[in-house]
Amino acid sequence: MFRRKSGRVLRRLALMVPSAVVRARYASLKMPIVIIAGEHDRLIDVDAQSARLPREITHSRFRRGEHAAHMVHQSATARVMAAIDEAEEPDREADGRFHRTAA
């Protein structure tokens, strides 16, 4: 039993290390970034994870998919394409299907 629990703990710790390394590089990102998260995502906490990113990547935009879950690219393809268009034209707002949220 201990061995099984310790294995889970080690796997979780291994996932945290790359995250810390990646977060340290956020400031160096120069490309346009639009972060999309499904409002009904049950796998991650959208407010704690996705919505915090614009505070760390200051030139990014956050879009919440109103009727989407975790697989936004499958359930809201048009919204994802609109976000790609928005990234290509940084001065243009999204097409109304995503709501701008405060960072």
| 45 located within any domain | yes
30-65 pLDDT per residue, tens:
888 999 999 899 888 888 888 888 888 888 899 988
pTM comes to: 0.64
CA atoms within 13 A on the CB side of 68: 23
Q: How many domains does the chain have?
A: 1
- 81, part of any domain: yes
Residue 75 lies in a domain: yes
User: What's the pLDDT tens digit per position in 62-93?
Assistant: 998 888 988 998 988 888 999 888 888 755 55
Regarding beta strands 33-38 and 98-100, do their DSSP bridges make them parallel or antiparallel, or are they unpaired? unpaired
User: Which one, of 68, 44, 61, 69, lies nearest residue 101 by Cα?
Assistant: 61
* Residue span of the structural domain in which 63 resides: 30-100
Domain presence at residue 22: no
